[in-house]
């Protein structure tokens, strides 16, 4: 897709930034970069990064349709949403900007409210929650939504993962995940779980080792499995501020980087196959407001 008037919009924005010497006040006073803030970029206004054509049904109306029926079971019908158009020129920059999604070639899967492992060929049928624009994946959750693929309470999510790239820990073998993240809305990311936008995890007793989380105020957090008291604030407000994230992991030791700066390390021994997931995972929390997260150029090696 092509963002409407992208060149003109970008030029106006850059000129405005030059005149006021900061874009951090375009969203709120809290979006200013602080001394311990690890994100390099300043905030862009929501309308500059994201537009849509059409409307998305409220959750109560969607439940009256056949899209997710029968409830509490995996469904394959899908649910269409408004057409999203992002500003690729502003979002797709940095080290991961030119990495294609290649969902079909990579065997990517989608876990969303109605189904835990959708094939890439079915992605377009689920555009209410997941779309692609250029090299960027668009993840959305809406107010009031809950998991409907089984009887687990709440647990709203929309995440992608690649089953064939799960791996068993091996001595001296280090795996890496990298992508550019842009959080546009996080009002629904409330306690106790907030929103995990990245997880190093496996579907076994070892479960997750480290997460990247955002809360309802837009604060970005490093979350280690072994000791949650060691969680670390990465930025007080990440809304509208694209940043590069990298995680390296050998099955015991892991380290996370934001825009090239280490933001945390930890250890969690995994004994079974593990992998990486990215998107939006809300867990036990309810979803009181909409959530939008963009992920550009996600890569694993």
* 270 or 143: which leads in pLDDT: 143
The most distant pair of C-alpha atoms in the chain lies apart, rounded to whole Å, by 56
Which of 234, 243, 230 minimizes the C-alpha distance to 214?
234
Extract the tokens encoding 49: 């990064």
Q: Is the pLDDT of residue 205 over 70?
A: no
Q: Is the pLDDT of residue 227 over 70?
A: yes
Lowest mean pLDDT among 53-57, 70-74, 248-252, 268-272: 268-272
pLDDT recorded at residue 4: 43
Mean pLDDT of 205-212: 82
pLDDT recorded at residue 204: 64
Q: Find out whether 52 and 42 touch, Cβ atoms under 8 Å.
A: no
User: Residue 230 carries which DSSP code?
Assistant: G
pLDDT recorded at residue 17: 38
> At a CB cut-off of 8 Å and minimum separation 6, what does 263 contact?
38, 222, 232, 234, 256, 257
Q: Find out whether 143 and 152 touch, Cβ atoms under 8 Å.
A: no
Most confident of 111-115, 163-167, 172-176: 111-115
pLDDT recorded at residue 33: 56
Q: Which residues pair with 132 in a beta bridge?
A: 137
pLDDT recorded at residue 20: 30
User: At CA 292, angle to CA 291 and CA 296, rounded to 5?
Assistant: 150
Is the N-terminal amide bond of 70 cis, ω within 30° of 0? yes
- Say how far residue 78 (Cα) sits from the centre of its chain: 20
Q: Is the pLDDT of residue 47 over 50?
A: yes
Which domains does the chain show, CATH number per domain? 6-300 (2.60.120.200)
Which of 250, 299, 301, 294 minimizes the C-alpha distance to 108?
299
Q: Find out whether 184 and 242 touch, Cβ atoms under 8 Å.
A: no
Q: Is the pLDDT of residue 19 over 50?
A: no
Enclosing H/E stretch for 46:
helix 46-49
How far apart are alpha carbons 114 and 129 in whole angstroms? 11
Mean pLDDT score of the chain, rounded to an integer? Answer: 88
Which of 270, 241, 294, 272 minimizes the C-alpha distance to 25?
241
User: At CA 60, angle to CA 57 and CA 65, rounded to 5?
Assistant: 70
């Amino acid at each position: 897709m092509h963002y409407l008037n992208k060149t003109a919009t970008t030029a106006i924005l850059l000129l405005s930034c030059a005149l006021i010497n900061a874009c951090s006040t375009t969203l709120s006073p809290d979006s200013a970069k602080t001394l311990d803030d690890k994100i390099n970029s300043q905030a862009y206004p929501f309308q500059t990064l994201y537009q849509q054509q059409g409307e998305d049904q409220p959750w109560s109306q969607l439940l009256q349709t056949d899209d997710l029926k029968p409830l509490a079971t995996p469904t394959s019908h899908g649910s269409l949403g408004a057409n999203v158009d992002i500003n690729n020129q502003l979002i797709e920059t940095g080290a991961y900007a030119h990495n294609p999604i290649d969902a079909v070639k990579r065997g990517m899967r989608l876990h969303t409210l109605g189904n835990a492992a959708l094939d890439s060929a079915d992605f377009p049928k689920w555009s209410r929650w997941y779309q692609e624009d250029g090299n960027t994946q668009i993840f959305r959750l809406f107010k009031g939504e809950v998991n409907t693929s089984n009887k687990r309470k709440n647990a709203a999510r929309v995440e992608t993962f690649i089953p064939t790239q799960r791996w068993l820990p091996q001595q001296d073998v280090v795996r890496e995940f990298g992508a550019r993240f842009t959080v546009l809305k996080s009002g629904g990311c409330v306690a106790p779980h907030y929103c995990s936008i990245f997880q190093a995890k496996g579907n076994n007793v070892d479960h997750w080792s480290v997460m990247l989380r955002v809360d309802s105020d837009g604060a970005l957090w490093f979350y280690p499995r072994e000791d949650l008291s060691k969680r670390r604030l990465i930025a007080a407000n990440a809304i509208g501020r694209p940043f590069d994230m990298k995680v390296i992991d050998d099955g015991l030791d892991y380290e996370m980087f934001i825009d090239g700066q280490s933001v945390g390390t930890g250890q969690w021994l995994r004994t079974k196959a593990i992998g990486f997931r990215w998107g939006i995972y809300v867990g036990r929390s309810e979803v009181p407001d909409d959530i939008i997260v963009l992920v550009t150029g996600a890569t694993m090696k």
